[in-house]
Amino acid sequence: MTLREIKPGNRGFLYLNSHPGGCAAVVDELWERTPAPTHTAPADTAPADTARTGPAAADPAAADGPVALIIGSSAGYGLAATVAALRTYGMRGLGIAFEAPETERRTASAGWYRTARAAELAGTDGDFAFLNADAFSAAAKDEALDHLATRYGKVDYLVYSVAAPRRTDPGTGEVHHSVIKPLGSAYRAKTLQFDGDTPLVGSLELAPAADPERDATVQVMGGADWKLWIDALTDRGLVRDGFHTVALTYVGSDLTAPIYRAGTIGAAKRHLEDTARRLQQDLAPLGGRAHTVVAGAAVTQASTAIPSIALYTSLLHAVLGDGFQSTAQQATALWQQLTGAAPLQLDEEQRIRLDGWEMDDKVQAAVHERWAAATTDTLPELADTAWFRAQVGRLYGWDVPGTDYTAPAETTVPWPTVD
């Protein structure tokens, strides 16, 4: 047992320490905001292209419910998808995340503590395990598939939600590093900064990426690893009839397009979307499907690293208020579509869309107007910066109501055992 007095030790949007109690409370909130089991099977009137033939078509609360593999289960949309899979559908399966344990100088990572709490909420009657491993590695794939093959036989769903700064190619051993840069020309834009607790509108200029930087980013954040996972499953005969795999992507506003969809990240996301189309062809003979999922804006550890996203998201939340959809709401909508409880909402590129609330024309027009008028002086009336700052803190277990940050906290929390 290790009781510590913890301080955030943050530098801007990066926190050096996570709070175990706050991280657990965040997962508790996510659990409570996710619908409980309905004991209702998907409607028989679902369109033919969304009908399920596997166990997901049965009662979602059934003890022998469907099997899900969720890669990137400890944060953001991956965590929300995991909680919804457990809470609403009683799914069995495996979550994979790569998290750091406690050291003498620092607490464990926030994802470590969130995973421990998610496993507790799954309960002793559940059948969902968590693996702490580098999902990019061949060893992680072998260990995960061995567990799945021994425990369940076949898999119904694979949700791929990985955000990482680097990837080692398991075939060549080459280490690729991602960059967040524009392509073609320099990027100049407003940014949200904090001088202590005071929000400021600053400016940023980034030089365009070189071709090797773009290619490395595609190797890290594109669809290469997703395809390796699907290939490994199919090679082992672990794809059940009706299998569906999805990978998370984002489109966003034209305000952020130069640094996102038209930048190095966008190149990676286009590769991810191309990969979905190739996987769709590969899986069709097996009765499977593959799609990318365009999620809406969210404050995540990955998104806070992208210039201008903080200002954009603060303005968006000020426009939408309660209409800003949480990751829990979006994950619920995703699982409804995957299980056939609701029809797939596909765009012309065959991507599942969860971002209609963000991309509504009136919403975007209002955000554009505020963006143009945003200065340090006008921020208080235009942007919800206090909300954004609190959301960043919550990523690490800070700024969570009801958590006592003055008391020493138990920081030594074991990773859930993988049987």
HEC-encoded secondary structure of 21-80? HHHHHHHHHHHHCCCCCCCCCCCCCCCHHHCCCCHHHCCCCCCCCCEEEEECCCCHHHHH
The secondary structure element, H or E, covering residue 337 is helix 327-339
C-alpha closest to that of 205 among 184, 224, 226, 190: 190
The three-class DSSP label of residue 346 is strand
Please state, in angstroms and rounded to a whole number, the distance separating the CA atoms of residues 389 and 374. Answer: 17
361: Cβ–Cβ under 8 A, 6 or more apart, which residues? Answer: none
C-alpha closest to that of 411 among 5, 20, 9: 20
**Phi and psi torsions of 106, nearest 5°:** -135, 160
The set of catalytic residues is: 260
Strands 92-97 and 128-132: parallel
Neighbours of 189 (CB within 10 A): 19
Please state, in angstroms and rounded to a whole number, the distance separating the CA atoms of residues 167 and 135. Answer: 9
Please state, in angstroms and rounded to a whole number, the distance separating the CA atoms of residues 50 and 60. Answer: 16
Neighbours of 1 (CB within 10 A): 5
**Alpha-carbon dihedral 306, 311, 317, 318, rounded to 10 degrees:** 180
